[in-house]
């Protein structure tokens, strides 16, 4: 069975085991996904769409394998890498949300490439992360039951009475502290829920610059089309004037021809009259 595998694919698999994906390759695959958003999100479900996805993976696979450094993989291995990349990105976003809800800063941050990937995957990807985060939070909640003593405690000795009163006061203080801590935790959870209910879309500066340049190009093209239409209108008006001038010239030529004809007829009649006199 191993003999049926082409030597190039076998060499590519062995290289992928030895080397890691380079920064240039990750940047290249994210640039490619920015041009094919539906393909990046994995929304190709139909048969035709899957066939198109296979072509796209072959295309990006050639680009990635031609990058300097990094690893060499088959198109299927690159598609598997992109799926793993999205899964790791989702887990990292969940970790960041959990650290935020627990008010702990462990230095976990998103890289520039990861932020670009989130902006490409869109709000649906963030919604999935948010729903998964809320499900995990609900699974950690526990019901706290407060049990009261059924029978009152009878104090026999005054020393025991003072000790009991101090213990009761300490218990009341502990309950108040726990209640205040619980209320603060509840407020903090509500604040986090309000923040999470409105997922923030990340729009990097490079994407804003691209959109601005594209808008400027559209404006320049619209102005060029307007100028072209104006020139065409001027050419049409000039052609109309030229046609009118030619019509007038033809009319003048016709009048001139009629005049010459009348002169010729007059001369002919005059010649005939002289002949008759002779």
Contact by Cβ (8 Å): 68, 24 = yes
Between 22 and 180, the more confident residue is: 22
pLDDT-derived band at 260 (thresholds 50, 70, 90) equals very high
Q: How far apart are CA 273 and CA 276, in angstroms?
A: 5
Task: Give the pLDDT score at 62.
Answer: 92
pTM, whole model, 2 decimals?
Answer: 0.42
Per the CB < 8 A criterion, the answer to whether 130 and 196 are in contact is yes
The pLDDT of residue 181:
46
Looking at the predicted structure, is the pLDDT value of residue 197 above 70? no
In whole numbers, what is the pLDDT of the chain averaged over residues? Answer: 73
For residues 278 and 143, the model is more confident at 278
Question: How high is the pLDDT of residue 246?
Answer: 93
Burial-class residue 44 by CB neighbours within 10 Å (0-12, 13-18, 19+): middle
pLDDT, residue 129, reads 60
What 3-state DSSP class applies to 157? Answer: coil
pLDDT exceeds 90 at position 159: no
Q: Which residue has the tokens 């690893």?
A: 71
- Give yes or no for a contact between 153 and 237, defined as CB atoms under 8 angstroms apart: no
Average pLDDT over residues 101-111: 68
Question: Cβ of 78: how many Cβ atoms within 10 Å?
Answer: 23
Residues 6+ apart with CB under 8 A from 126: 93, 118, 199, 200, 201
Lowest mean pLDDT segment, chosen from 31-35, 57-61, 63-67, 134-138: 134-138
Q: Is the pLDDT of residue 141 over 70?
A: no
pLDDT score of 78: 93
pLDDT value, residue 192? 46
Mean pLDDT of 158-176: 48
């Amino acid at each position: 069975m191993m003999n049926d595998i082409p030597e190039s694919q076998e060499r590519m698999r062995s290289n992928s085991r030895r080397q890691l994906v380079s920064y240039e390759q990750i940047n290249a695959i994210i640039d490619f996904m920015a041009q094919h958003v539906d393909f990046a999100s994995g929304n190709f479900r139909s048969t035709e769409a899957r066939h198109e996805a296979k072509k796209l993976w072959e295309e990006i696979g050639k680009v990635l394998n031609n990058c300097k450094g990094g690893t060499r993989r088959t198109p299927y291995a690159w598609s598997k890498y992109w799926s793993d990349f999205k899964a790791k990105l989702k887990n990292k976003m969940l970790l960041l949300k959990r650290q935020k809800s627990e008010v702990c800063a462990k230095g976990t941050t998103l890289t520039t490439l990861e932020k670009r990937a989130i902006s490409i995957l869109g709000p649906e990807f963030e919604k999935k992360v948010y729903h998964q985060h809320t499900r995990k939070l609900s699974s950690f909640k526990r019901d706290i039951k407060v049990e009261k003593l059924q029978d009152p405690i009878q104090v026999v000795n005054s020393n025991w009475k003072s000790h009991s009163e101090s213990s009761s006061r300490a218990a009341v203080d502990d309950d108040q502290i726990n209640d205040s801590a619980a209320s603060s935790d509840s407020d903090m959870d509500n604040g986090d829920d309000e923040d999470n209910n409105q997922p923030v879309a990340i729009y990097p500066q490079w994407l804003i610059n691209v959109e601005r340049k594209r808008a400027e190009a559209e404006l320049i093209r619209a102005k060029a089309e307007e100028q072209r239409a104006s020139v065409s209108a001027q050419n049409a008006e000039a052609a109309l004037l030229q046609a009118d001038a030619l019509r007038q010239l033809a009319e003048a030529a016709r009048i001139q021809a009629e005049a010459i004809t009348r002169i010729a007829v007059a001369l002919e009649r005059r010649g005939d009259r002289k002949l008759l006199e002779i």
